[in-house]
């Protein structure tokens, strides 16, 4: 029985100069991306008529392409303009995920190495409701770890990194948890399986130092800046599982759902605390205010 390849929600994709509805077939069995993984992407969000930090996401996808040996074919400004064009194809009632992508079509001097001149671009937008900012998630400690830059292209938002994230999430779910804290090769906490991580102790906000084993996200940076401007002490440092076990609050940041509380770590119940709520409020207030300017 053939697999249904239709998208799970209303979807529009810009590729080769035109907008196509649904899930157009773009990668063939001989495409470099299909069998050798030369793909990068980024993800921005549109909701309530706004697209926070869309420009930064468009800039980052080009940096990711270069880090993977691809050749960006669109300027960040062109991608941003196309994104706003694509938003108009939706009814404006549901939040949208904005996903610019590059991939390689052919190999270069070696079949394994991608030919940068064969780089292709697509911009995919699809409906994806925002997560409930008050809904808590549960975390465990993953047995899997984040690679280093010497092992994988951790300086890119590359598709080849995500099978590791998938096994992190699947293993956590098999044990009854929503997500997992993931360590780097030195044993320090780096992130979760799908987001950046923060903890609060005695009113001070801590987050793992960006050591190039994980993607230090755009939303992470924005939240850190907003909390600092609001008078909170925000510290990037090496953090262990023991640090998180003793935390007063834990919350995550990421483009998909922005700021979300953690309400259980292993068997310890946690409150969706005031600093977490403040972080989300600060982000949403900033996002809406920026659009009004």
Which residues in the chain land under pLDDT 70? Answer: 132-134, 291-293
Neighbouring residues of 168: CB distance < 8 A, sequence distance ≥ 6: 142, 144, 180, 182, 193
**118/31 Cα distance (integer angstroms):** 10
**47/130 Cα distance (integer angstroms):** 8
**197/254 Cα distance (integer angstroms):** 9
pLDDT digits (tens, 9 = 90+) for 31-71: 999 999 999 999 999 999 999 999 999 999 999 999 999 99
Domain with CATH 3.20.10.10 in the chain: 135-288
Domain with CATH 3.30.470.10 in the chain: 9-125
* pLDDT confidence of residue 133: 60
- CATH topology assigned to domain 9-125: D-amino Acid Aminotransferase; Chain A, domain 1 (3.30.470)
Structural tokens at position 222: 């924005």
Neighbouring C-alpha atoms within 13 Å toward the C-beta of 66:
7
Q: Where are the alpha helices (DSSP H) in 113-229?
A: 162-174, 218-229
* pLDDT confidence of residue 1: 75
Q: How many residues does the chain have?
A: 293
Residue 116 DSSP class:
G
* pLDDT confidence of residue 291: 59
**110/276 Cα distance (integer angstroms):** 49
Q: Classify 199 as helix, strand or coil.
A: strand
Helix axes 54-67, 76-87, angle to 10 degrees: 130
Q: Return the CATH superfamily for domain 135-288.
A: D-amino Acid Aminotransferase, subunit A, domain 2 (3.20.10.10)
* pLDDT confidence of residue 130: 87
* pLDDT confidence of residue 292: 46
Neighbouring residues of 146: CB distance < 8 A, sequence distance ≥ 6: 154, 164, 182, 183, 184, 185, 190, 191, 213, 214
pTM above 0.85, yes or no: yes
């Amino acid at each position: 029985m053939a697999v249904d390849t239709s998208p799970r929600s209303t979807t529009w994709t810009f590729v080769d100069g035109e907008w196509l509805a649904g899930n157009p077939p773009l990668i063939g069995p001989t495409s470099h991306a299909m069998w050798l993984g030369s793909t990068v992407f980024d993800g921005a969000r549109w909701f309530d008529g706004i697209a926070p930090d869309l420009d930064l996401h468009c800039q980052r996808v080009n940096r990711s392409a270069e880090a993977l040996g691809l050749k960006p074919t669109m300027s960040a400004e062109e991608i941003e303009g196309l994104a706003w064009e694509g938003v108009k194809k939706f009814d404006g009632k549901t939040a949208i995920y904005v996903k610019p992508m590059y991939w390689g079509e052919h190999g270069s001097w070696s079949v394994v190495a991608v030919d940068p001149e064969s780089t292709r671009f697509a911009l995919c937008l699809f409906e994806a409701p925002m997560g409930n900012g008050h809904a808590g998630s549960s975390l465990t400690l993953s047995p899997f770890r984040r690679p280093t830059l010497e092992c994988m292209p951790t300086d890119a938002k590359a598709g080849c990194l995500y099978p590791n994230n998938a096994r992190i999430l699947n293993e956590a779910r098999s044990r009854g948890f929503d997500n997992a804290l993931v360590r780097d090769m030195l044993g320090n906490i780096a992130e979760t399986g799908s987001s950046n991580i923060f903890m609060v102790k005695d009113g001070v906000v801590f987050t793992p130092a960006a050591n190039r084993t994980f993607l230090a996200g755009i939303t992470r940076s924005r939240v850190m800046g907003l909390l600092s401007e609001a008078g909170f002490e925000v510290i990037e440092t090496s953090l262990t599982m023991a640090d998180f076990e003793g935390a007063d609050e834990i919350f995550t940041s990421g483009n998909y759902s922005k700021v979300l509380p953690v309400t259980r770590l292993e068997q310890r119940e946690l409150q969706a605390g005031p600093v977490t709520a403040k972080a989300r409020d600060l982000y949403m207030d900033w996002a809406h205010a920026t659009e009004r300017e």
